[in-house]
Structure 1
Amino acid sequence: MWRATLRNLLAHKLRLALSGLAIVLGVAFVSGTMIFTDTLSKTFDDLFSSTASDVNVEAASAFDSGLEGSGAVSTVSADAVDEVLEVEGVAAAAGYVQAEGVYVLDRDGAVLDTGGAPGIGISWEPDRQLSSSTLVDGRAPEGPAQVALDVDSAEKAGYALGDSVPVLTTGPRVEAELVGVFTFGDTGGSAGASLAAFDTATAQELFGEPGRFDGISVLAADGVTDAQLRDRVAAALGDGYTVRTADEQAAALAGDFQEGLAFVEVFLLAFAGIALFVGTFIILNTFSMLVAQRTRELALLRALGAGRAQVTRSVLAEALVLGVVGSAVGLAGGFGVAAGLRGLFGSFGLTLDGGLVFALDTVVWAVAVGVLVTVTAAYLPARRAAKTPPVAAMRDDHVAVERSLFRRTVVGSVVAVAGGAALVAALVVDDGSTAASLVGLGALALLLGAIALSPVLARPFLRGIGAALPRLFGTAGRLARENAVRNPRRTAATASALMVGLALVSGFSIIGASTSASVDALVEESLGADYVVSTAVGAPFSAEIAEQIRGIDGVEAVTQQRFGQAAFDGAPTFISAIDADTLDSALVLDYVSGGTEGLRDGGLLVDEDTAASNGWSVGDSVPAVLANGRPLDLTLGGIYAANQAAGTVVVSLDAFTAAGGEPLDRFVYVDLAADADAGAVRSQLEGTLEPYPVVTLKDQAEFAAEQRGFVDQLLLIINALLALSVIIAVLGIVNTLALSVIERTREIGLLRAIGMDRRQLRSMVRLESVVISVYGAVMGLVLGTVLGLALVQALATAGISRPVVPAGRMLLFLAVGAVIGVLAAVWPARRAARLRVLDAVATA
């Protein structure tokens, strides 16, 4: 049996290669994702480990938000450094300052292109044992007019020692002489970030706080372990500090990074799973048709004494070999995928140094997934093969009996109804995360139900849409329709692969269109200001900009908005800090009770959901604490309807600043006087922002377009990944048609013998492919529309308030489905037309 199995594999190399290609693509994406994320993890693990001092001291946070950026200044004093130096076992200790939002400008005055990686300002540590940086040229910076840059930034900007370098800090913009170039960490890489180093006093002045540090690096004396030194330093400093060893510090940073990386990994693996799911249909179709074509051969094996189990194992062995080979090739292709992902993320600023990481678990998972998918898909055809009666080997006219679709209809209907019920439930629950989960479960159930019902729905659909084919294409059209209807299971399996891909693409298109429309509505309804000053990525910027704008003639009001985190009854949440005097001119809030006046003198505004969940009402005392431990004694002064621009909790800018909130703006809203010359004022505003190229001025339409840009970019990535499933679906159609041509060789010969020419034959195959593709496309678009609208409704609490179905794009997808049918039929149609008539008729 093993010899027969191998012979069958070699006899059907091309057919199996097309099926194997689906596994290759899916496994390549799985393994590529794992290789990329392992490389990403190693890059940052090495970076964190090489830059951590023996012991690190930071001011403790009042609560663990699990989120970056508390919005509160939490530092350690110079006295704390002196205390650490007195601890037994400390060889050296020094405070350090570091901050994001410090950008190097190139020779043209533009922000140095890091592709999205952060710009970081650091203090230069002269003690080599405590420093994470190593000079490779020049000397250390001294005084406010000198700076050192990392090697990559200096090379990108084209700066040499002695050049004047403009640096945009979170405080003022500075011009400094480049006196040194350095590498960072043991590997010398900074993962794409730009680094600008100043002496400690200058760093404190520019982006820190004079006399205070972000943390303390501590070096252990000989014979003292990191753990011993940690305990001694912690005991000396007392409460209010977080003291970690080098390993603990690296692990903490790596843990935070891994949380963010987990989303990327799950995101990419989800699309790999979709690709493998779609590929399963191709494997199922391939083995079903191969078994059908080998009916006499398998029956003859049974007649010669082979048992059912042997026949089943033979077919599964073919699948096993296909899975192993496909997994091996896919594993090799994973390196290409990982290299592509590294290049893609590198264009966004995440530069990964060193080679790709190839771990054993990547091999195990890739082979396991590829083999499991292939063998599972081949199981049902293998069982059918085993049931082939031996008498079939003695007959030329044996035809497999078409099984009833009753069971599939019942199961598919039950699953589809359950999916629909989950979608309906998602529309009535109040919790957004629960609604999204229900939509996910409902979507999966609805897809599985549609797949099960697809053969049932295929016949009436194909007969209906195919009714025009005989009129338009004559005999070729009628035969194409009948060929598609003849085996509804095969047609449904072929169309289902395309259905899944287009359902997801069209669903995300609806989400994208709805999000864009909701952004426009949000800006129109919530934004009262004429202009918005902000960075494209929402990074903080100097409050000096708002002060300069206030001095421009024609500007009536300037409103600063900052963000942070605070804990209410121990529960951390984001807060928005905004000018109480000018809030009403900047944002439009729909108050349920109270009003903007309630924000003054330690007031608090919250949206109605927050008030309801906490049982708050206007006049209640609501204590809070910032991450730096400073309290906020607040009184609820107003409750407003949900507003994405304001957020869920608003405090006054004065109260936030007094409690040590970060003195950096995220948005500045500008209102013009009624009699102001808008063009002249805009010119002055742009002139004011010219020294700060990272900060831009937008009117309401431009601001809405900028926000839509983030959504469009994300959807572009999602649709590019989903295109993989569509490509695999196309391979499935090609494979099915090719196998169908082989299966119908004698029939095609008879058609040619009675007068059908090659052109008509090619038309018949193409039309069959188009009908199947259009069926899959229509099913996919219907499902995608249902799922997209359900998810939009579930995300209403997240700000997606305008459901939109992009009709033009949906019609384009339908046209693409038809084009896919034409392209997929090119090779099978040529193969059918090139068959020799006599050889085809003589085929058994």
Structure 2
Amino acid sequence: MVRAMLRDLVAHKGRVAMTLVAITLGVAFVVATWVVSDSAAETTRGAGVREDVGVSVRIVEGAPELTGADQDRLAGIPGVASASGVVSGYAGVVRADGKLVGVRPDQAGTAWDSSDRFVLKDGKAPAPGEVAIAEAQAGPAGRGIGERARILLADGRSVDAVVAGVFAYRSLGEPDPVVAFGDPGVLGDRYAQVELSVRPGADADAIAATARGLVDHATRTVATGADLAEQARARADESARSSREGLLGFAAVALLAGMFVIANTFAMLVTQRTRQLALMRAIGATRRQVRRAVLLEAGALGFVGSTLGVAVGIGMGLLGLVVNAPEGQSISLTVTPTGILIGYAAGVLVTMVSAYTSARRAASVPPVAALRTDGSFAPRSLRARSITGLAAVAAGVVATALTLRNDLSTTERVVSMGGGIAAWLGVLLLAPALADAVLRPVGRVLSRRGGPATRLGIRNAVRDSRRTAATTSSLMVGLALVCAFATLGSSITSMLASSIRATVPATATVVQSPVDRVALGTDVLGKVKAVPGVRSVSADRYIFLKVTHNGSTSRTTLSAVEPDGVVRPEIVEGSGDVRRGAVVGENEAAMIGAKVGDQVTLTFDPVTSVTTTIIGLHKGMEGRPLFYVDVATVPAKIRDAAVTTVYATGADATAVRAGVAAAFQDRPDVVVTDREGVIKEATESFELLLSLMYALFGAAIVIAAFGVVNTLALSVMERTREIGVLRAVGAGRPLVRRAIRTESVVICAYGGVLGILVGVGFGAVMQHAMMGQSLWEFSVPYGIIAAALAGMVVVGVLAALWPARRAARTDVLAAIATA
């Protein structure tokens, strides 16, 4: 029985070719995800483990740096062989075109020493007046050994130095430096950490305990080198795990699209083999044997597709690593047995689960069906499926209606999102009934205006609403996800633009970093004030901190502004006069349970906190500061180092902008722009992320397109006799081709329109639940929608090429003779 089914599968392999492609692509995404994440973790671990550090004493972020006196005290601990201070500070390599290599948060410099931190790859260790450049930066910098390079330091200072060597860095959790100076004094005489090497036989844990007693616990951390190495490995694994989980979401969408294709294929294959299955029953095969045979057939198909998918996935992973690897940095391709086994498990299980309903249906074929010339099953009622779908849509609508207000709690946000998902699933269940309700009247209208080919194509599309729905479901899911995130992204960018326009004057000159929320340095305000024509200058200081209210502490963001400055949040309740207290985003206030008049404690670092009163609520949004306070509220040491944006105004806005640009022409880490430039910079990151998501979700649409090809091809085989009769009564090959193309376009258009409507609706729910904005204040991505509709027509035409050609070439006499 099983051998017969497998022989039939091999003999008619063309019937499952597109299904095989769908399985291959789904598994390839899973395997590629594992390859990329494992390779990234292995590359991090491959830098090597340092063995020369027994104990490391480090400063807590924002705390004062360690001094030479601290180093001397630590060096005096019994059992310590030496104590090395590690200098760290901002330093970026400037290319020949005047631009920085990389982005500012990645720029860090240190002083060269003889420790195991550095692995010299080329050249020699730098002497005073020389630098060594990190391996990943050497290529993009365009500076060879022996050439002079300009290194940008904090506050706009810069030094010229000769490139002496290229190094790789062995980190114990600290940021990898891009530059190592031969002169230890370039970055100052204070240390971010002091590394202690221990004498042979000394106990590192005991030395660490002694060191803890010599430093301030609130501003210093002490750990052994072994602990730091283990923490670094754990961070690499956690980073790999996080990226894997994110990418597996896209792989799951691709597999979901493949499930629709597989289920539809096996449903059609079982229908076409009804007489064959009945004959097997007639000669003694039991229902269990038939069901098992179909499932094993699905398993064999899944195994072949998984094998191809593993090979393709490894290639995709390697390509992704090569494309995304920084120039000059070597990559480590890591293929683990876990990734391969999960790829096989996903492919085989998804295929067998998708085919299970068809296997049960095959087992229900009675032996007497072998006597029928019509090998099809009796149509099943859509009543139960439609009622379930309507119930799911109704539950989703109710859940969304109960969470319409803007200041939602975390639980209410989850309920709102759950309602959107329930409505989405309901539409999927209603798809066959909707196909009947929508396509038949539309078909009647188009049939009156079209020719015979149009009428035939539309009738073929609506004759089996279950098959049409199954074919379009994968298209709908892929396109709905694209439109949902396009709606969310469009809403976010629209709200960002509105927020910036509401707070920044149109005539203001804006000075900021090329990277959002990066401090500019302490000298920027003074340089802007010194520009001729500047009438007023104010700054935005973006600070991450902790806020405590009623004993509950959470992380948040704060902007310290001048009371009379240009940055003025849009107030929805209370006062906006930051001299009297803090202005808080209305959604943030709801999240922490605070209201106007409540007191909150703002903790900037382990030793600095301020208590203030909430005097107003503003119409905040994610991505913008949640707290606004008077700059005088923030301690000077923090506010001076946190200037992220400077706004300047004057009588002649053009002259002011030109003057400020001239003042910073030697600062590649500073951008001078206007309000519209700020909006563009703020929205570009979202648009880039959305483009990546469109590409990943596009895999589901590609799989769905193969599903349409598969359905049409099997449908042509199923209707061989019908096509032969059409040809016999005068239908030419062009008419048959047009009919198949029309059927394909109608199917794709139906799935496309349904996907767009569901996607835009779910996108509106997403922006409401995630951003706290009104459900009705979403932005419709008309460009994406137009492109999606046009794309569905193109997919429909392309998907019909092979099936239409095959149908047109049907042998008339052989087709009529088919029983």
Q: What TM-score comes out, normalization by structure 1 length?
A: 0.90
Partner of 1:453: 430
Closer/same/farther in 2, CA of residues 484 and 229 from structure 1, 3 Å limit? same
Closer/same/farther in 2, CA of residues 430 and 581 from structure 1, 3 Å limit? closer
Aligned runs of 1:462-481 on 2, under 5 Å? 462-481=439-458
SS in 1 for 2:201: coil
Closer/same/farther in 2, CA of residues 264 and 36 from structure 1, 3 Å limit? same
Closer/same/farther in 2, CA of residues 425 and 75 from structure 1, 3 Å limit? farther
Partner of 1:230: 208
Q: Is residue 331 of structure 1 aligned with residue 310 of structure 2?
A: yes
Distance in 2 separating the partners of 1:541 and 1:481? 63
Pick the aligned partner of 2:111 from 110, 123, 127. 123
Distance in 2 separating the partners of 1:467 and 1:52? 81
Partner of 2:485: 508
Pick the aligned partner of 2:698 from 719, 723, 726. 723
Q: Is residue 97 of structure 1 aligned with residue 87 of structure 2?
A: yes
Closer/same/farther in 2, CA of residues 484 and 172 from structure 1, 3 Å limit? closer
Q: Is residue 315 of structure 1 aligned with residue 281 of structure 2?
A: no
SS in 2 for 1:541: coil
Distance in 2 separating the partners of 1:128 and 1:479? 79
Q: Tell me by how many angstroms 1:395 deviates.
A: 2.7
Partner of 1:11: 11
Greater shift in the superposed pair: 372-381 or 330-339: 330-339
Structure 1 contact 591–641 (Cα < 8 Å) conserved: yes
Q: Tell me by how many angstroms 1:5 deviates.
A: 2.0
SS in 2 for 1:466: helix
Q: Is residue 541 of structure 1 aligned with residue 520 of structure 2?
A: yes
Distance in 2 separating the partners of 1:51 and 1:689? 44
Q: Tell me by how many angstroms 1:595 deviates.
A: 4.6
Query: What is the root-mean-square deviation in Å for CA atoms of aligned residues?
Result: 2.9
Q: Is residue 111 of structure 1 aligned with residue 90 of structure 2?
A: no
Q: Is residue 555 of structure 1 aligned with residue 503 of structure 2?
A: no
Closer/same/farther in 2, CA of residues 355 and 822 from structure 1, 3 Å limit? same
Partner of 1:693: 668
Q: Tell me by how many angstroms 1:44 deviates.
A: 2.1
Partner of 2:804: 829
Q: Tell me by how many angstroms 1:274 deviates.
A: 0.7
Structure 1 contact 745–843 (Cα < 8 Å) conserved: yes
Partner of 1:132: 118
Aligned runs of 1:272-671 on 2, under 5 Å? 272-346=251-325, 349=326, 353-428=330-405, 430-431=407-408, 433-528=410-505, 530-538=508-516, 539-569=518-548, 571-580=553-562, 582-583=564-565, 585-590=566-571, 592-596=573-577, 598=579, 604-608=582-586, 622-627=600-605, 629-636=606-613, 638-643=615-620, 647-658=625-636, 660=638, 663-671=641-649
Distance in 1 separating the partners of 2:699 and 2:478? 9
Partner of 1:207: none
Pick the aligned partner of 2:758 from 773, 783, 799. 783
Closer/same/farther in 2, CA of residues 23 and 317 from structure 1, 3 Å limit? same
SS in 1 for 2:179: strand
- Residue type at the aligned position of 1:841: I
Distance in 2 separating the partners of 1:383 and 1:784? 33
Distance in 2 separating the partners of 1:135 and 1:752? 74
- Residue type at the aligned position of 1:567: K
SS in 2 for 1:795: helix
Pick the aligned partner of 1:78 from 61, 68, 79. 68
Q: Tell me by how many angstroms 1:579 deviates.
A: 4.5
Partner of 1:67: none
Distance in 2 separating the partners of 1:179 and 1:807? 52
- Residue type at the aligned position of 2:658: S
Structure 2 contact 138–166 (Cα < 8 Å) conserved: no
Q: Which runs of 4+ in 1 moved over 6 A?
A: 190-193, 612-621, 798-801
Pick the aligned partner of 2:156 from 172, 178, 185. 172
Q: Tell me by how many angstroms 1:179 deviates.
A: 4.9
Distance in 1 separating the partners of 2:479 and 2:424? 12
Closer/same/farther in 2, CA of residues 544 and 587 from structure 1, 3 Å limit? same
Partner of 1:758: 733
SS in 1 for 2:46: helix
Structure 1 contact 281–497 (Cα < 8 Å) conserved: yes
Distance in 2 separating the partners of 1:399 and 1:162? 80
Distance in 2 separating the partners of 1:750 and 1:426? 58
Distance in 1 separating the partners of 2:599 and 2:105? 42
Distance in 1 separating the partners of 2:727 and 2:316? 46
Structure 1 contact 137–180 (Cα < 8 Å) conserved: yes
Distance in 1 separating the partners of 2:420 and 2:508? 42
Corresponding residue pairs, total: 812
- Residue type at the aligned position of 1:598: R
Q: Tell me by how many angstroms 1:646 deviates.
A: 6.7
Q: Alignment identity in percent?
A: 33
After superposition, the C-alpha distances for 1:116-145 in whole angstroms (9 at most, x for unaligned) are: 8812211222x335x435374244342xx5
Distance in 1 separating the partners of 2:405 and 2:597? 32
Q: Tell me by how many angstroms 1:38 deviates.
A: 1.0
Closer/same/farther in 2, CA of residues 459 and 321 from structure 1, 3 Å limit? same
Distance in 2 separating the partners of 1:250 and 1:431? 42
Structure 2 contact 764–775 (Cα < 8 Å) conserved: no
Q: Structure 2: any 5+ residue segments left out of the alignment? A: none
After superposition, the C-alpha distances for 1:60-88 in whole angstroms (9 at most, x for unaligned) are: x4xxxxxxxx5x34422322211111112
After superposition, the C-alpha distances for 1:435-476 in whole angstroms (9 at most, x for unaligned) are: 553344333322322222111111121212212343344322
Distance in 2 separating the partners of 1:264 and 1:38? 10
SS in 2 for 1:76: coil
Distance in 2 separating the partners of 1:148 and 1:280? 54
Distance in 1 separating the partners of 2:775 and 2:371? 66
Distance in 2 separating the partners of 1:809 and 1:561? 35
Partner of 2:243: 264
Distance in 2 separating the partners of 1:317 and 1:615? 57
Q: Is residue 157 of structure 1 aligned with residue 141 of structure 2?
A: yes
Q: Tell me by how many angstroms 1:265 deviates.
A: 2.4
Partner of 1:208: none
Structure 1 contact 23–327 (Cα < 8 Å) conserved: yes
Closer/same/farther in 2, CA of residues 199 and 435 from structure 1, 3 Å limit? farther
Closer/same/farther in 2, CA of residues 75 and 175 from structure 1, 3 Å limit? closer
Q: What TM-score comes out, normalization by structure 2 length?
A: 0.92
After superposition, the C-alpha distances for 1:188-241 in whole angstroms (9 at most, x for unaligned) are: 9x999733435332212xxxxxx4311111212212354343334334446343
Distance in 1 separating the partners of 2:779 and 2:402? 21
SS in 1 for 2:767: helix
Distance in 2 separating the partners of 1:464 and 1:677? 64
Structure 1 contact 510–785 (Cα < 8 Å) conserved: yes
Partner of 2:187: 203
Distance in 1 separating the partners of 2:96 and 2:51? 30
Structure 1 contact 138–179 (Cα < 8 Å) conserved: no
Distance in 2 separating the partners of 1:371 and 1:510? 35
SS in 1 for 2:772: helix
Q: Is residue 739 of structure 1 aligned with residue 714 of structure 2?
A: yes
